[in-house]
Copies of this chain bind each other. A is one copy, B any other.
Amino acid sequence: MEDLKKFEGGAAYMDGKYVPIAEARVPVGDWGFTHSDVTYDVVHTTGGAFFRLEDHLDRFHTSLDGYRLDPGVTRDEMRHILGRCVVLSGLKDAFVAMVSTRGVPTVYGSRNPLDCKNTFIAYAVPWVDVIKPEVQERGAHLIVAETPRISPKSLDPTLKNYMWRDFTRGMFEALDKGADTAILIDQDGYVTEGAGFNVFVIKGNTLTAPDRGALKGVTLRSVLDLAPELGLEPVVGPVTLEDLMEADEVCTSTTAGGVMPCSRVNGRIYGNDRPGPMSQKLKDLYWQKHREGWHMTPVNYADADNPFAVAEPA
């Protein structure tokens, strides 16, 4: 087995080799950088096991197909590479990314995407919370950004992408106003999502997630799956700005953070200015389910050549 010391801090796979995370770098001429012609997905491990790994691989392949990217590795190879990155890093709680870029044209100066050799990059780094734990504790303070979400006509938000300029503008608006982060509405006034996270509202016994302008989040799917256990009816439907402002609770969800309750939107205080009771129950249930092994795939840290404890899932 390889000397794992160099993988402390994170292990990556690129150009067919496993390298320390600091060496995982993209050429300045890769269209993944110069055209944001790239897709990705992120799955997490908790306590040494992947959560909903197959769902993330499903979505990654949907994104690859949607963008006409062929990373040149099979799904089985991807799964193996992701597992191996985790084992090499030694991380029990990890943020595990899979990325495919259009690559560099093989014909110098070509502008034809078919002349590019698409890449596959993967890496495991220590767990990250999109919204800091102490902020999650008091409930995040959101703003609704004045910058509208890029229209789905120009950019399909269900295909995961790094085209975040609208979110970045929203984030600056949030910082300027002393808030933690921003959510965006579309040009028709419907709530969409935030920078790397979904948003949903709870009103009475109904939990509603936006049906447009947003990624189909795996954590959100888990929330919708678990809602009935708490007596909530899950709905995917239009959410207006008014629905947001008049909700009993507002909550966000993402792989890098899980279920993250909010306590303020545009200065409006929800409940006791603390995470709402149903949001908190959803958060607790989400992590309880992890501990119970729900959708978990254990990692075999003893052998990087065989990174799954049992036979690799088909």
Q: Which residues of A contact B (CB under 8 A)?
A: 12, 14, 21-22, 24-29, 32-38, 40, 67-68, 97, 99, 102, 108-109, 111-114, 121, 123, 125-126, 128-131, 147-151, 153-155, 161-168, 171-172, 175, 181, 187, 195-196
Residues of chain B lying within 8 A (CB to CB) of residue A129: 109
Residues of chain B lying within 8 A (CB to CB) of residue A171: 111-113
Q: Is the CB of B111 within 8 A of A28?
A: no
How many angstroms between the C-alpha atoms of A102 and B172 in the bound complex?
A: 13
12 contacts between A and B (CB under 8 A): A12-B28, A26-B33, A32-B33, A33-B38, A34-B164, A35-B162, A37-B168, A102-B168, A111-B181, A111-B195, A111-B196, A112-B175
One complex includes copies of this chain to the number of 2
* Known contacts A24-B28, A26-B25: A34-B109 contact under CB 8 Å: no
Residues of chain B lying within 8 A (CB to CB) of residue A128: 108-109
* Known contacts A34-B162, A165-B163, A175-B112: A28-B121 contact under CB 8 Å: yes
How many angstroms between the C-alpha atoms of A111 and B38 in the bound complex?
A: 20
Query: Whose C-beta in chain B lies nearest to the C-beta of A197?
Result: B111
Known contacts A28-B99, A37-B168, A113-B175; 20 additional CB pairs below 8 A are A14-B28, A21-B29, A22-B27, A28-B97, A32-B33, A33-B33, A34-B40, A35-B168, A36-B162, A108-B126, A109-B128, A111-B130, A112-B175, A148-B151, A148-B154, A149-B154, A150-B151, A151-B151, A155-B165, A161-B165
How many angstroms between the C-alpha atoms of A164 and B38 in the bound complex?
A: 10
How many angstroms between the C-alpha atoms of A8 and B109 in the bound complex?
A: 16
Cβ contact of A154, chosen from B14, B24, B151, B175, cutoff 8 A: B151
Residues of chain B lying within 8 A (CB to CB) of residue A181: 111
Query: Whose C-beta in chain B lies nearest to the C-beta of A122?
Result: B28
- Please give me the 8 A-B residue pairs with the lowest Cβ-Cβ distance, nearest first: A25-B25, A109-B128, A35-B164, A36-B36, A150-B154, A24-B28, A154-B166, A163-B163
